[in-house]
Chain A
Amino acid sequence: GAGVSQTPSNKVTEKGKYVELRCDPISGHTALYWYRQSLGQGPEFLIYFQGTGAADDSGLPNDRFFAVRPEGSVSTLKIQRTERGDSAVYLCASSLRGAWTGELFFGEGSRLTVL
């Protein structure tokens, strides 16, 4: 597609379960970012990929969170042993060269609710 695609758009799970959120960036974009947005707040940085490698994962809150991008395109954010505090909208963004160019395109997000 023409834009950044995120699936699922909504996910409801129970505390303690495992969750995967998928991001399909714009074709050819080498830079990929994951952000988390809680209600009424701005997005918070989680992790940045340049190609297949995580160039900066300093925003991941703890070791329950992990992200991969094995072929340099699609990325999956994985959350183990989910907690109610993980409930948020998880946003993915991609860029041809990186955020410093200002050309960053966001998906519509995956809304995660942990009961």
Chain B
Amino acid sequence: KQEVTQIPAALSVPEGENLVLNCSFTDSAIYNLQWFRQDPGKGLTSLLLIQSSQREQTSGRLNASLDKSSGRSTLYIAASQPGDSATYLCAVTIIQGAQKLVFGQGTRLTINP
């Protein structure tokens, strides 16, 4: 059974710092890995999608990497801003069955002005 773990559960940093969020998964049989952002009381917004054949994806100040063989992904946020404060969720799309997403528990990020 695929399990996804995110470390740390919560992170608080001053504005302007670069930071890294970590995600690990137990089964490398995945289609892709996604990082989502969730604001309080809101749904999920996809930030970056990495296909299983890819190593990384970049969007603006965000960079996500994928090492499928070791079951790890990182989300790098450069020059953090207060508006980046949110919960960040990592999810893998499993190959077996209904190709559903399996989520980690999320990292709650707070950027202090």
Q: Do A and B bind each other?
A: yes
Measuring CB to CB, which residues of chain A are less than 8 angstroms from any residue of chain B?
4, 33, 35, 40-45, 48, 50, 55-56, 58-59, 91, 93, 98-100, 102, 104, 106-109, 111
Asked if B103 and A43 make an inter-chain contact with CB atoms under 8 angstroms apart, the answer reads yes
Q: B102 at the A/B interface (Cβ < 8 Å)?
A: yes
Contact pick for A107, options B43, B49, B89, CB 8 Å: B43
Total contacts A to B, CB within 8 angstroms? 68
Q: B100 at the A/B interface (Cβ < 8 Å)?
A: yes
Asked if A102 and B44 make an inter-chain contact with CB atoms under 8 angstroms apart, the answer reads no
Q: B71 at the A/B interface (Cβ < 8 Å)?
A: no
Q: In the bound complex, what is the Cα–Cα distance between A35 and B91 (angstroms)?
A: 13
Interface size on B, residues (CB 8 A): 27
Asked if A106 and B93 make an inter-chain contact with CB atoms under 8 angstroms apart, the answer reads no
Q: List 20 A-B contacts (CB under 8 A).
A: A33-B101, A40-B105, A42-B6, A42-B89, A45-B100, A50-B98, A56-B97, A56-B98, A56-B100, A59-B100, A91-B44, A98-B99, A99-B31, A99-B101, A102-B32, A102-B34, A102-B49, A104-B34, A108-B43, A111-B41
Contact pick for A99, options B4, B51, B99, B106, CB 8 Å: B99
B 6-58 contacts with A by CB, 8 A: 6, 31-32, 34, 41-46, 49, 51
CB distance from B32 to the nearest CB of A (A): 5
Contact pick for A104, options B46, B95, B104, CB 8 Å: B46
Which A residues are CB-close (under 8 A) to B43?
4, 91, 106-109
CB distance from B10 to the nearest CB of A (A): 10
